[in-house]
C-alpha cells in the first residue's frame, strides 16, 4: 500500500487538532496530526502502543508521570494503556504509528 502526499483527508479530532491517516497495514497505522498552539490534547489512554515523531513546532508531552518539552526531531513511544496528553506550545505537526491498527482511524 502507498500513501501519496495530499492536502485532502484531514478530519477534526478535537478542537485545534486535525488528523489524517496516511497509510496502514495489517499490524500498524500511521497518522499525521496538525496541532494548533493553545489547544491541549487532554490526558487519555488507549490499548494501542503509540510511537511518534515531532516534525515541526513544540509540544509539552506527558507520558504517565514524566513530562518533556519536545522540539522538531524528537520522538517518543507510549505503551498501550498508559495515560498521556500534550500542551501545544507552537503550531505543530506530528507523525504517529499505532499498533494494533486503530480501526476508529480508518
Tell whether 21 is covered by a domain: yes
pLDDT score of 83 = 98
Residue 51 lies in a domain: yes
Residues paired with 31 in a beta bridge: 21, 96
Q: How many residues does the chain have?
A: 106
Whether residue 79 is contained in a domain is answered as: yes
Is residue 1 over pLDDT 90?
no
Residue 3 lies in a domain: no
Q: Hey, what's the cell of 69? A: 518539552
Structural domain that includes position 96: 11-105
**Is residue 19 assigned to a domain?**
yes
pLDDT, mean over the chain? 97
Q: Structurally, how many domains does the chain consist of?
A: 1
pLDDT at 95: 98
Q: What percent of the chain has pLDDT over 90?
A: 99
Residues forming a β-bridge with 68:
61
User: How high is the pLDDT of residue 51?
Assistant: 98
pLDDT, average across residues 16-41:
98
> Is residue 18 pLDDT above 90, yes or no?
yes
Query: Does some domain include residue 2?
Result: no
The pTM of this model reads: 0.95
Q: 63 pairs with which residues across the strands?
A: 66, 84
pLDDT tens for each residue of 42-86: 999 999 999 999 999 999 999 999 999 999 999 999 999 999 999
Amino acid at each position: 500500500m502507498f500513501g501519496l502526499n495530499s492536502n485532502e483527508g484531514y478530519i477534526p479530532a478535537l478542537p485545534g487538532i486535525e488528523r489524517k491517516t496516511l497509510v496502514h497495514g495489517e499490524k500498524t497505522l500511521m497518522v499525521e496530526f496538525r496541532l494548533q498552539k493553545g489547544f491541549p490534547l487532554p490526558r487519555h489512554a488507549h490499548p494501542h502502543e503509540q510511537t511518534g515523531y515531532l516534525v515541526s513546532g513544540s509540544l509539552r508531552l506527558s507520558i504517565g508521570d514524566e513530562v518533556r518539552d519536545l522540539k522538531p526531531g524528537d520522538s517518543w513511544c507510549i505503551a498501550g494503556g498508559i495515560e498521556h496528553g500534550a500542551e501545544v506550545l507552537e503550531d505543530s505537526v506530528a507523525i504517529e504509528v499505532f499498533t494494533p491498527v486503530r480501526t476508529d482511524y480508518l
